[in-house]
Amino acid sequence: MSVYRMILNETSYFGPGSITKVPDEIMARGFKKALIVTEQSLIDAGVSSKVLKLLDGIKLPYEIFDKFKQNPTIQNVNDGVAAYKKSGADLIIAIGGGSAMDTAKAIGIIINNPEFSDVKSLVYEAPTKNRSVPLIAVTTTAGTASEVTKNYVITDPERKLKFPCVDAHCIPIVAVVDPDLMSKMPSSLAAATGMDALTHAIEGYITKDAWAMTDMMNLKAVELIGRNLRGSVLDKNIDAVTQVAIGQYMTGMGFSNSGLGIVHSIAHQFGGMYDTPHGVANAVMLPFILKYNADYTGTKYRDVAKAMGVEGTDSMKEAEYRKAATDAVVSLSKDVGIPQTLPEIGVKAEDIPQLAVAAFADGNTPGNPRPTSVKEIEEILRSAM
């Protein structure tokens, strides 16, 4: 057996009402003041306010930092670092989707590793020496799994690119996955974030560094998300929302340790160039990349098709189960209202050469099961126009 590494988080809570554990964790760990990283719109919508009420209940002083956008930027991180320093806090609590949690991770890392204050040098596997400021991550979307991963993604608007950062020092000390916070997500957001999680699970299952333990997590996540996303998006059924929430966390443990592939390499460039929501960018590209990778995945698409709920996969021939897996993903994507072509999300043909060069250079590209090239990525992008 080769040598494999698993890095996981410490304590996580799941299920409706799990945010009530946040005060217990704060008191048990003796924190005195928190910087809350969340959006004002989420407070106004009655989402983050549920957690703030619990903090008021234990009289924990806190300040709110909300000066960040979807696809958070270098400037957002710098502003957050300044806010943390000014606040006198000893804890960060992120309440929101990947954008809030990733901003909080970058703030916490820079506070304890100030030699990376330029933010840009955190790209890929920066050699930070110290753990982040303690971070409690309360996710309000069911997609990125940033509450459990050692990853965060920051946007550089000057270079028009998003750069993934991978650092075990950023993992939150407590993760909270409470479906009550997710049940009122607009359908388009629930669909996009759910498809992001499905992409993590499938890319994490077929990536080059996948192995038995990450397979266990990623394949079960394909099943939980593949079979519950319709109910979660279309009916807002709380059981389905809960299963998708658990599925996205499960693949978070998996993909954080296995890596991903070129769906994410390309999606990061759409985010950098057009500010495309991350889940939408992945969801549109996933079927095209599934077709492109099919011949490099052994029997894994049989497992994916079966996990998605396709009947009769055991007796299918190779070409049949490969098609069945892709078809199942396309069918789910259409049912939850995801656009199917790149012009629908604003991608321009004249940008394709630049997008392909940047996608090829993305840190996820080496993990793709099929060796690729700038030219082949260009061809995939043109086929999706």
CB of 153 to Fe ion, least distance (A): 8
What residue 141 binds from ligand NAD, Fe ion, none (CB within 5 to 8 A, per partner kind)? ligand NAD
Location of structure tokens 């330029």 = 118
Residue 320, both tokens: 């049949």
Using the rule CB under 6 A, give the single segment among 17-25, 185-193, 213-221, 240-248 that binds ligand NAD. Answer: 185-193
Q: Which of 12, 18, 71, 251 binds ligand NAD (CB under 6 A)?
A: 71
Give the C-alpha separation, 357 to 162, whole Å: 14
Nearer to ligand NAD by Cβ, of 140 and 242: the residue is 140
Rounded to a whole number, what is the distance in angstroms from the first to the last CA of the chain? 43
Cβ distance 295 to 368 under 8 Å? Answer: no
Q: 3-class SS at 177?
A: strand
**CB under 6 A: which stretch of 37-45, 74-82, 127-135, 234-242 binds ligand NAD?**
37-45
**Residue 45 binding partner per list ligand NAD, Fe ion, none, with a CB distance cut-off of 5 to 8 Å that depends on partner kind:** ligand NAD
Q: Is 196 in the site for Fe ion (CB under 5 A)?
A: yes
257 sits near ligand NAD (criterion: CB under 6 A):
no
Rule CB under 5 A: say whether 147 interacts with Fe ion.
no
Q: Of 1-9, 14-22, 41-49, 342-350, which segment contacts ligand NAD by CB under 6 A?
A: 41-49
Query: In 15-67, at which residue ranges do the beta strands (DSSP E only) sit?
Result: 34-37, 62-65
The number of CA neighbours under 13 Å toward the Cβ of 35 is 29
User: In this complex, which beta carbon is closest to ligand NAD, that of residue 88 or of residue 346?
Assistant: 346
Confirm if 242 and 15 have CB atoms less than 8 A apart: yes
Q: Which residue, 41 or 341, has its beta carbon nearer to ligand NAD?
A: 41
Question: Within a 10 A sphere around the Cβ of 355, how many other Cβ atoms?
Answer: 26
Residue 274 backbone class (left: φ over 0; alpha: ψ -120 to 50; beta: rest): alpha
What is the rounded CA–CA span in Å between residue 307 and residue 302?
Answer: 9
How far is residue 356's CA from residue 131's CA, in Å, rounded to a whole number?
Answer: 35
Q: Is the distance from CB of 133 to CB of 84 less than 8 angstroms? A: yes
User: CA-CA distances (angstroms) from residue 242 to 14, 342, 348?
Assistant: 9, 31, 37
The least distance separating ligand NAD from the CB of residue 268, rounded to whole angstroms, comes to 7
Q: Which of 41, 117, 130, 299 is the binder for ligand NAD (CB under 6 A)?
A: 41
CB of 256 to ligand NAD, least distance (A): 7
CB of 332 to Fe ion, least distance (A): 17
Q: Which of the residues 19 through 58 are near Fe ion (CB under 5 A)? A: none
Residue 6: contacted member of ligand NAD, Fe ion, none (CB under 5 to 8 Å, by partner type)? none
Contacting ligand NAD (CB under 6 A), which of 26, 35, 51, 97? 97
- Determine how many CB atoms are found less than 10 A away from the CB of residue 147: 25
Q: Name the residues that contact ligand NAD, by CB under 6 A.
A: 39, 41-42, 45, 47, 70-71, 96-100, 102, 140-141, 143-146, 149, 151-153, 162, 181-182, 184-185, 189, 193, 196, 271, 278-279
Report the interface residues with Fe ion, using CB under 5 A: 196
